[in-house]
């Protein structure tokens, strides 16, 4: 077994210090070491997008990143967005537009959308679909997810205006 390393990382605003084996994926670190099982693991080779989290504010696949790389970094997961009693505005749009069925892809969809909303105008459905193209959903047919993102993008615009 390769040598463990101690890392200090902030996850959803909480500082953690843990000893990790270098080959431990960030996705497994979050789920198994920290017990944050909101981040889902699908394909484990960067195709499905289910494990998407924010690393220093930018969306990234947690299955393509080693926990040891997170030393000194800020990680945000779906647990940091909102709670069942206090959904984030984006989560609220997902609920209102029925943008999930089984919910497996939802954490990755949400974290992807947080970053998309920050970086792109999302002025057309074509642009929204391009933005979502790295996240697979096998239930919804995407239509309701597109509607939720469209609503979130419009709400963001109103907020900027006012």
Nearer to other proteins, 21 or 79 (CB): 21
Residue of the chain from 29, 80, 97, 131 that contacts other proteins (CB under 8 A) = 131
Tell me which residue has tokens 């947080």: 114
Q: What angle do CA 159, 86, 72 make, to 5 degrees?
A: 80
Q: Tell me: does residue 66 bind other proteins (CB under 8 A).
A: yes
- For residue 56, how far is the Cα from the chain centroid? 12
What's the min distance (Å) between Cβ of 70 and other proteins? 11
Nearer to other proteins, 32 or 102 (CB): 32
Nearer to other proteins, 28 or 76 (CB): 28
The 10 Å Cβ neighbour count of residue 72 is 10
The pair of three-digit structure tokens given for residue 33, joined into one six-digit string: 């070491």
Residue of the chain from 95, 98, 129, 138 that contacts other proteins (CB under 8 A) = 129
Contacts of 118 (CB under 8 A, 6+ apart): 57
Q: Tell me: does residue 159 bind other proteins (CB under 8 A).
A: no
What's the min distance (Å) between Cβ of 157 and other proteins? 20
Q: Tell me: does residue 60 bind other proteins (CB under 8 A).
A: yes
Closest by CA position to 73, among listed 57, 56, 59, 51: 56
How far apart are the C-alpha atoms of 34 and 52, rounded to whole Å? 16
Summarize as ranges the residues that interact with other proteins (CB under 8 A).
Answer: 1-3, 5, 21-23, 25, 28, 44-46, 49, 52, 55, 58-61, 63-66, 68-69, 71, 112, 115-116, 119-120, 129-131, 133-135
């Amino acid at each position: 077994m390769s040598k463990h390393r101690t890392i200090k990382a902030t996850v959803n605003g909480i500082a953690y210090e843990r000893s990790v084996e270098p080959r431990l994926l960030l996705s497994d670190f979050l789920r198994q070491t920290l017990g944050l099982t909101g981040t889902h693991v699908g394909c484990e080779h960067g195709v499905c997008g289910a494990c998407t989290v924010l690393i220093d504010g930018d969306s990234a696949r947690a299955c393509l990143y080693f926990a040891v790389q997170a030393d000194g970094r800020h990680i945000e997961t779906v647990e940091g967005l909102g709670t069942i009693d206090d959904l984030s505005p984006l989560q609220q749009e997902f609920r209102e537009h029925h943008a999930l069925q089984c919910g497996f892809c939802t954490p990755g969809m949400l974290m992807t959308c947080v970053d998309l909303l920050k970086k792109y105008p999302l002025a057309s459905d074509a642009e929204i679909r391009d933005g979502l193209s790295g996240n697979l959903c096998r239930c919804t047919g995407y239509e309701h997810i597109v509607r939720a993102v469209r609503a979130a993008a419009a709400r963001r615009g109103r907020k900027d205006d006012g």
